[in-house]
Structure 1
Amino acid sequence: MSIFRTPQVILFSEDVTRAAAFYAGLGFTETFRVPTEGDPIHVDLVLDGYRIGVASVASTRDDHGLDPVPTGQRAAVILWTDDTVAAYEKLTAEGAPALKGPHVWLDRLLIAWTADPDGNPVQLVQHLPAG
């Protein structure tokens, strides 16, 4: 029997509100916020049972004694879609950086890369029809 359950990824951010708004714009629903009013130091969001958290760099340093890296490609959020091209065009049109346009990978996936406001890569993936 495993002693672990309900995994999630926490992304460190200098601006938790901005990062949470980005993921809410992708369809994630906010499920947890501390504090409940004012500038949050931590927000959890869920999409199709997948939970991510956004934690303040300052809070992580001050409250937990860690030294998180606040920017760059430290982790990637993977989002499956039925239309990679449309999803990529929508996100980049809304200001998300274009890291790599749609391209076929492994002859069965269409993949594109953009990033969230803190520079974490966001991969958009679509299954291609067997051919």
Structure 2
Amino acid sequence: MITSGLVNVFTHDVTRALAFYAGDLGLSETFRTPTTGVPEHVELSAGGFVLALSSAEAARRVHGMDVQVGAAAMSLVFWVDDLDVIYGELTDRGVPGVTEPHDTGNDNRNAVVRDPDGTLVELVAKRSRLNDVG
């Protein structure tokens, strides 16, 4: 029986990816290994969602996995409170924007950026919530 899970994003530079996910996006670090020095694996929390950042080199060395860093076969999706503000803050800090904030179906407002390795990161907010706040 499966008891929990996480999404593991592979990177060539865990420290750089951590600066984006913890620094720019504000996810909370919950675990890292090794505990000192340059990490090879870090887990972060966003509500009940767990995101792991793992070194592609460690994946090959430890698990024999040949991973493709930054391949756009998936995207990470994070729900946010104020999409336009967050997108502006990220792109002002040099995070590459892919799609500017735009209205989509299901009362959503979406935007897409790329993490330092090129992984697509989609940001989503409910338009009705934005109207209630503004």
> What is the TM-score of this pair, normalised by structure 2?
0.90
Aligned partner of 1:12 among 3, 10, 13:
10
- Deviating beyond 2 angstroms after TM superposition, the runs of 4 or more aligned structure 1 residues are none
User: How far apart are the structure 1 equivalents of 2:66 and 2:42?
Assistant: 19
SS at structure 2 position matched to 1:23: helix
TM-score, normalising length: structure 1:
0.92
CA distance in 2: counterparts of 1:84 and 1:47, whole angstroms: 16
How many Å apart are 1:82 and its aligned residue? 2.0
Sequence identity (%): 38
One-letter amino acid of the counterpart of residue 102, structure 1: P
CA distance in structure 1 between the partners assigned to 2:42 and 2:106 by the alignment: 37
Specify every segment of 5 or more residues in structure 2 that has no aligned partner in the other structure, as ranges: 130-134
Alignment partners' CA distance in 1, 2:57 and 2:18: 16
Q: Deviations over 1:97-129 (max 9, x none)?
A: 010001111151110001111111111111112
> What CA distance in whole angstroms lies between the structure 2 residues aligned with 1:14 and 1:74?
17
The structure whose residues are more often helix, as a share, is: 2
Q: Which residue of 2 aligns with 1:42?
A: 41
State the Cα distance separating 1:70 from its structure 2 match: 1.5
Alpha-carbon distance, 1:75 to partner: 2.6
Structure 2 CA distance for aligned equivalents of residues 20 and 49 of structure 1: 18
Structure 1 residues 35 and 107, CA gap change in structure 2 (3 angstroms) = closer
* CA displacement, residues 51-86 of structure 1 (integer Å, 9 cap, x when unaligned): 100110100001101100022323312111121111
Bigger Cα displacement from structure 2, 66-75 vs 97-106: 66-75
Residues 51-60 or 121-130, more deviating: 121-130
- In the alignment, structure 1 segments of 5+ residues that lack a partner are none
Residue matched to 2:128: 129
CA distance in 2, matches of 1:39, 1:75: 26
